[in-house]
């Protein structure tokens, strides 16, 4: 557990409504238990309505943050199984997510691996398909950015950081999707995680914002390519969301006002983003929705 100051539920909600949150300084990879207030992934609040009954999903970056919230929501919507890919060092978070998936009555499959390696991308899909017996939904959610100091400015770019951002955010989407495609069928869904940064790029997130703009292009392109096969491809573009990646890759002083620039005046919670993924995954609710980037941004424009 972290050593930061613990706050009551009421204090945590007040902090969230202001838009900021507090966290002891930590380095990437991130950890959910280090965050104050702890993010809401829908553990106590999400109620499912069998929108995804019997379907099988793979969620990359499913151990924490938005990925965890989506995994919980999918399981409570009746998914038969949810496979979660994650970095091996994030085992604790992954196991906690798996326990919530299992509590909802779904099979949980944990697949550790670094998706910046093309071979790992293929192996993750193979394991997920093998353990779940097939695949109906792919969520390309894993991602990385670094916004400490001048790391995301043109002056501060470092090859190792840029390579990780490009590989994790852009190339992994291509390789995981390529590996998953032979297992998808008519009615299947691919959902990519874009960002408000693809529309309103911050000057200190040069490389990250570029990859998210590329995700939008990939999404529309794949929707056109795969539409004849009956496979829908969409993306969700979150705004500022309180996930472990933020305190692990941002300056501490940035966290206090994180999200306050949105019209709603606060950061969002992972649980507030998950329903967008459920909608796009649902063959009942989104059967004619493809090539769409759905913004969940607290009021910031995504066009």
Instruction: Cis check for the bond before 180: say yes or no (omega within 30 of 0).
Output: no
The question of whether 86 is a catalytic residue gets the answer no
What's the sign of the alpha-carbon dihedral 234, 238, 242, 244?
Answer: positive
Residues 6+ away with beta carbon under 8 Å from 14: none
**Active site residue: 46, 86, 199, 208, which one?**
208
What's the sign of the alpha-carbon dihedral 145, 2, 4, 69?
Answer: positive
Asked if 204 and 150 count as a contact pair (C-beta separation under 8 A), the reply is: yes
**Cα 249 to Cα 152: distance, rounded to the nearest angstrom:** 11
Q: Which CB contacts under 8 angstroms, 24+ apart, belong to 40-44? A: 40/269, 40/270, 40/271, 41/65, 41/68, 41/69, 41/72, 41/100, 41/269, 41/270, 41/271, 41/274, 42/69, 42/72, 42/73, 42/76, 42/270, 42/271, 42/274, 43/72, 43/100
Residues 6+ away with beta carbon under 8 Å from 106: 74, 75, 79, 80, 81, 82
Asked if 189 and 157 count as a contact pair (C-beta separation under 8 A), the reply is: no
Tell me the CB-side half-sphere exposure of residue 148, using CA atoms within 13 A.
Answer: 14
Q: Which residues participate in catalysis according to the annotation?
A: 208
């Amino acid at each position: 557990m972290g050593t930061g100051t613990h706050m009551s539920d009421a204090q945590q909600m007040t902090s969230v409504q202001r838009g900021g949150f507090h966290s002891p300084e930590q380095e990437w990879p991130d950890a959910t238990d280090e965050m104050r207030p702890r993010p809401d992934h829908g553990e106590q609040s999400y109620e499912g309505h069998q929108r995804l009954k019997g379907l099988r999903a793979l969620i990359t970056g499913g151990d924490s943050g938005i990925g965890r919230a989506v995994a919980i929501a999918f399981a409570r919507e009746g998914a038969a199984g949810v496979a979660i890919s994650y970095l091996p060092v994030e085992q604790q978070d992954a196991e906690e997510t798996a326990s919530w998936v299992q509590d909802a009555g779904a099979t949980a499959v944990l697949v550790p691996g670094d998706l910046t390696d093309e071979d790992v991308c293929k192996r993750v899909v193979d394991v997920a398909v093998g353990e779940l017996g097939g695949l109906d939904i792919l969520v390309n959610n894993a991602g990385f950015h670094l916004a400490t100091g001048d790391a995301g400015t043109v002056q501060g770019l470092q090859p190792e950081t840029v390579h990780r951002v490009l590989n994790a955010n852009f190339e992994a989407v291509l390789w995981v999707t390529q590996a998953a495609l032979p297992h998808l069928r008519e009615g299947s869904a691919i959902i990519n995680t874009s960002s408000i940064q693809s529309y309103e790029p911050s000057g200190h997130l040069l490389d990250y914002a570029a990859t998210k703009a590329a995700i939008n292009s990939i999404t529309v392109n794949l929707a056109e390519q795969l539409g004849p096969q009956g496979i829908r491809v969409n993306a969700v573009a979150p705004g500022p969301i309180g996930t472990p990646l933020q305190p692990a890759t941002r300056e501490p002083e940035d966290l206090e006002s994180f999200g306050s620039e949105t019209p709603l005046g606060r950061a969002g919670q992972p649980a507030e983003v998950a329903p967008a993924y459920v909608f796009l995954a649902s063959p009942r609710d989104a059967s004619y929705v493809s090539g769409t980037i759905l913004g969940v941004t607290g009021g910031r424009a995504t066009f």
